[in-house]
Amino acid sequence: MTVLAKGRHHGTDRNSAVKVQINPERCQGHGRCYDLAPGLFGDDDEGYGMVLGDGTVPPSEEHDARLAAANCPERAIELLEEV
Amino acid sequence: MGIDDRFAEDFRQTREEGPIGIRSPVITGLVTDWATDFSHVEPEWAADPYPIQDDLRQRCPIAHTERFGGAWLPTRYEDVAAIAYDTDRFSSRSIILSNFRPPRELAPIGGSPPISSDPPFHHHARKLLLPAFTKAAVAKQEAGTRRFCHSLIDALAGAHVVDAARDYAQHIPVRVIADLLGFPPDDGPQFREFVEDLLEGINLPPDERIARVSRLFDYLLAQVDDHLGNPREDLTSYLINAELYGRKLEPSHVVGTMALLLIAGIDTTWSAIGASLWHLATTPSDRRRLVAEPGLLPTAVEELLRAYSPVTMARLVRDDMHWHGVDMKADDWILLSFPAANRDPAQFDRAGQVVIDREVNRHAAFGLGIHRCLGSHLARMELRVALHAWLERIPEFTLEDPSAVTWSAGQIRGPRTLPLRIR
């Protein structure tokens, strides 16, 4: 269950990085991720979601990342906390 | 390349020689027990299905009916999702529940690909259409849609009471779809008849239903002829020229997909716009908040889609099986109620309430799995633009006569008469 809580390491003293991933087996192109977090996700020519860059989430976009994950109807978005 | 003669003969003649489907007796009349005799085409359901669904969810949760030759109605999100994902055991070869089941041989293509298709054919038929319905493709229609919404509102000038369903909501998707398919915009009134014939006429005598559906296909074949002689940049010409497995599409595929785009694009979005305006007319606090904070509209649109999901789909059970506590028989219908799933308290906090700024909203209004609504980006754009234009121009409005509001019966639910006092 994804909870939209602020990350524990929110702020300047963070020592972990959050990354986003899309499970292409689950994605059906609803587009909630690129609607809600356009800085992190885009779409391909068929409307399926794509992670922009390597998926590293800047601290300022962590809320968007969690929002995208929590709103994906297919539960296709994973948030990875890397220490 | 020779002349395209695929459409020289009416493909319906060869289809008539193939296997026939199953007809069931038409059963209508008052429902006595929704758990054992439900009917989504009776007036009580059309007027307010939510208390019925909530009751069934608690005590069934999968209701049954002998009507339509036998059908099941799951009401929990979990069951609806499981069926949507299980394309092996639940076929899409007919997605409108009626008293006629098309022959099994119609799978995996179905009459209106890709919505009526099963894997593996489904994937290829859908892939042909996806690029035309991406967010970027849809964005090209936004300015025109906005201008059209404003022109509809201009035409309401001077009126005190208007029918927002008939004078506003219904025209918006009709115009958008006519543009996409390259049909004459003045044919709109005919489209609405086609929609009613297909989606609301399910209990008509079979021969009359066939005659009505036939009128739609006559219209579409005339449009194909017109496009063959005069190709242009629209989806009709695109489908005529599209290829699958290295060959041009079967004529039944071209016309079936045109039927899908025409029907599925119209009263679904019309219903969503109408239901949203009904909600705002009856909930002044939400209306005032959206007028004051138009930036909240995209979030509100998702909540309105959840709470008033217009679309219910159907499936056919492939083989006899015991499934989640009930004994399903081959060819039983499933009424796949995304509206019921979207009000399941096990999935949503305050499920029965409209929370206009709900931030976490994993609703299934556009379905789940491989049949995710192809036009979801288009529908969202139309809904957002239509509500934005209305609230900007008509910030104050109320329901004039609650008893005069009528809702469509069947698998697509939305207001068909919506008298609003606008000044």
- Judge whether residue A7 has pLDDT over 60: no
Report yes or no: B371 and B115 within 8 Å, Cβ to Cβ. yes
Contact with chain B for residue A50, Cβ under 8 A: no
Which of A15-24, B63-72, B310-319 is the least confident region?
A15-24
pLDDT in tens, A47-72: 999 999 999 999 999 999 999 999 99
* Facing residue for A46 by CB, picked from B134, B361, B369: B134
For strand B398-399 and strand B419-421, is the pairing parallel, antiparallel, or unpaired?
Answer: antiparallel
Minimal C-alpha gap between B400 and chain A (Å): 36
- Judge whether residue B292 has pLDDT over 70: yes
pLDDT at A13: 46
- Judge whether residue B162 has pLDDT over 90: yes
CA distances from B226 to B230, B240, B310 (A): 6, 11, 33
Q: Which of the two residues, A31 and B12, has the higher pLDDT score?
A: A31
Find the mean pLDDT for residues B126-148: 98
Give me the phi and psi of B311, to 5 degrees please: -110, 130
Rounded to whole angstroms, how far apart are CA atoms B414 and B417?
9
Find the mean pLDDT for residues B190-202: 85
The range of the structural domain enclosing residue B406 comes to 11-421
The CATH number linked to B49 is 1.10.630.10
CA distances from B152 to B140, B206, B271, B322 (A): 20, 38, 17, 52
Residue B404 pLDDT class (50, 70, 90 cuts): very high
A47 and B298 within 8 Å at the Cβ level: the answer is no
B306 → chain A, closest CA residue: A73
Find the mean pLDDT for residues B284-313: 98
Q: Could you tell me if residue A7 is inside a domain?
A: no
- Judge whether residue B239 has pLDDT over 80: yes
Rounded to whole angstroms, how far apart are CA atoms B49 and A60?
43
Which of B101-110, B160-169, B187-196, B339-348 is the least confident region?
B187-196
Which of B196-210, B251-265, B277-291 is the least confident region?
B196-210
pLDDT at B18: 67
Q: Average pLDDT, whole number, for chain B?
A: 95
A47 → chain B, closest CA residue: B134
Q: Residue B9 has which token pair?
A: 């003969």
CA distances from B63 to B40, B71, B166, B175, B307 (A): 12, 8, 34, 38, 21
Q: Could you tell me if residue B3 is inside a domain?
A: no
Contacts of A46 in chain B (CB under 8 A): 127, 130-131, 134
Give me the phi and psi of A57, to 5 degrees please: -100, 115
B369 → chain A, closest CA residue: A28
Q: Could you tell me if residue A18 is inside a domain?
A: no
Please, which residues have CB within 8 angstroms of residue B377's CB and are 6 or more apart in sequence? A31, A47, B133, B134, B135, B137, B138
* Facing residue for B362 by CB, picked from A28, A29, A73: A73
| Cβ neighbours, 10 Å, residue B46 | 17
Q: Could you tell me if residue A3 is inside a domain?
A: no
pLDDT at A4: 54
Contact with chain A for residue B127, Cβ under 8 A: yes
Find the mean pLDDT for residues B51-62: 96
In 3-state terms, what secondary structure has residue B280?
helix
The CATH number linked to A64 is 3.30.70.20
A29 and B372 within 8 Å at the Cβ level: the answer is yes
Q: Could you tell me if residue B2 is inside a domain?
A: no
pLDDT at B15: 61
Contact with chain A for residue B51, Cβ under 8 A: no
Report yes or no: B90 and B316 within 8 Å, Cβ to Cβ. yes
pLDDT at B203: 86
Contact with chain B for residue A31, Cβ under 8 A: yes
Minimal C-alpha gap between B131 and chain A (Å): 5
Please, which residues have CB within 8 angstroms of residue B383's CB and are 6 or more apart in sequence? B269, B272, B273, B276, B301, B304, B305
CB contacts under 8 A, B 246-265 vs A, are none
Residue A9 pLDDT class (50, 70, 90 cuts): very low
- Judge whether residue A10 has pLDDT over 60: no
Q: How many domains does chain B have?
A: 1
Q: Is this complex scored with an ipTM above 0.85?
A: yes
User: What percentage of chain A carries pLDDT values higher than 70?
Assistant: 81
Q: Which of the two residues, B298 and B203, has the higher pLDDT score?
A: B298
Contacts of B379 in chain A (CB under 8 A): none
* Candidates B115, B338, B362, partner chain A, best to mutate (most A CBs within 10 A): B362
User: Is A18 exposed, middle or buried, given 0-12, 13-18 or 19+ CB atoms closer than 10 A?
Assistant: buried
Q: How many domains does chain A have?
A: 1
Rounded to whole angstroms, how far apart are CA atoms A55 and A25?
18
Q: Could you tell me if residue A9 is inside a domain?
A: no
The range of the structural domain enclosing residue A78 comes to 27-82
Question: DSSP character for B71?
Answer: E
- Judge whether residue B269 has pLDDT over 50: yes
Report yes or no: B405 and B149 within 8 Å, Cβ to Cβ. no
pLDDT at B297: 98
